[in-house]
């Protein structure tokens, strides 16, 4: 395979930027050259695993994503089933899936099943990240009649959302404590996320501080924390970079760390991304840091990483990113790799 690559003109590297469904790209061949010595079947499994990481469990095609969509539609039975499937995966989102399954059962009028689901959540994750939300929901379920939520309740929620928007425009000072109260409450995911979104639109130090508290995981479940990190990352305020770095250092949630890496790329934090691409212990997150660094089109930094990288799998990804760049430095390094 190496001989075949060397016969191709340098201009072919540019053509390799385009993805095809029919054949392996030169980018993949070059990356495979770096990882030579790795069994072909293992390399194939690694590729598939990497694609799974890129899609991640946060996308709408996952069980968790389908459950979230069903909640927004008010399809409680479908939501409960999707979150039940998500909880069985026993991954970083299983605890949240168990909570939302209980919430969907409650809203669907299945009081006994909701209480049983909350009891199971408490048994499997005593003192977990969703413990506060689960306790509040348990009280709400026990106080409720157990009947399905009437359409009027959803209409009231819609009115509240409109009212929140209007209050922010006329009196943001009064809106701020109300928004924080809703975010910390046990209302519907749509209402809480909408309140968080509105909070993110208030360009005031107090609002940014409140958003930072949610991003740090204070009085917030992991879903809201992730959303807060995303909103902070979209801010043009350079001061949010310090908050993002603080959250990155203080969390073990890979989804939140990936979101922060994306935000750091958006804020052109090349040095920080370079540091994380070198020091992050999780290989998947190191790959994510490499991908975000590649978005800054800094070929020199990627080449430096490639030369120092000891893990052939991570190095393979670095070379893959370099092969997609239209850069003389990148092309020179690729030729260097091929001639090794």
Owning domain of residue 135: 63-143
Mark whether 158 and 261 lie in a shared domain: yes
Q: How far apart are the first and last CA of the chain?
A: 14
Mark whether 76 and 184 lie in a shared domain: no
Q: What pLDDT digit, counting tens, does each position of 171-206 carry?
A: 777 778 888 888 887 777 778 888 888 888 888 888
Does residue 184 lie in a domain region? yes
Does residue 96 lie in a domain region? yes
Mean pLDDT for 13-25 is: 35
Mark whether 208 and 246 lie in a shared domain: yes
What pLDDT is stored for residue 230 in this prediction? 92
Number of domains in the chain: 2
Does residue 254 lie in a domain region? yes
pLDDT above 70 for 146: no
Does residue 245 lie in a domain region? yes
pLDDT above 50 for 122: yes
What pLDDT is stored for residue 162 in this prediction? 64
pLDDT above 90 for 249: yes
């Amino acid at each position: 395979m190496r001989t075949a690559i060397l016969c191709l003109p340098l201009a072919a590297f540019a053509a390799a930027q385009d993805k095809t469904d029919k054949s392996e790209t030169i980018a993949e061949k070059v990356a495979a050259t770096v990882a030579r010595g790795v069994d072909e079947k293992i390399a194939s499994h690694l590729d598939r695993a990497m694609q799974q990481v890129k899609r991640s469990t946060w996308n709408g095609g996952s069980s968790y994503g389908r459950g979230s969509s069903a909640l927004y539609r008010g399809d409680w039975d479908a939501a409960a089933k999707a979150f039940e499937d998500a909880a069985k995966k026993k991954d970083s989102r299983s605890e949240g899936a168990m909570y939302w399954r209980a919430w969907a059962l409650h809203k669907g009028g299945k009081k006994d099943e909701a209480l049983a689901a909350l009891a199971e959540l408490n048994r499997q994750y005593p003192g977990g990240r969703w413990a506060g939300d689960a306790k509040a929901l348990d009280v709400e379920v026990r106080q409720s009649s157990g009947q399905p939520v009437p359409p009027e309740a959803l209409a009231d929620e819609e009115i509240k959302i409109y009212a929140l928007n209007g209050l922010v425009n006329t009196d943001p000072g009064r809106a701020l404590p109300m928004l924080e109260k809703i975010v910390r409450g046990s209302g519907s995911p749509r209402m809480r996320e909408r309140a968080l979104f509105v909070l993110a639109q208030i360009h005031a130090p107090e609002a940014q501080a409140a958003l930072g508290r949610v991003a740090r995981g204070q009085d917030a479940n992991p879903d809201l924390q992730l959303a807060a990190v995303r909103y902070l990352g979209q801010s043009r305020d350079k001061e949010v970079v310090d908050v993002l770095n603080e959250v990155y250092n203080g969390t073990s949630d890979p989804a939140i760390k990936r979101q922060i890496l994306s935000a750091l790329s958006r804020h052109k934090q090349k040095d920080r991304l370079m540091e994380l691409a070198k020091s992050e212990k999780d290989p998947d997150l190191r790959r994510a840091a490499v991908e975000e660094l590649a978005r800054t089109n800094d070929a020199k930094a990627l080449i430096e990483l490639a030369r120092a990288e000891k893990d052939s799998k991570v190095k393979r990804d670095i070379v893959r990113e370099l092969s997609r760049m239209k850069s003389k430095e990148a092309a020179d390094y690729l030729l260097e790799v091929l001639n090794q």
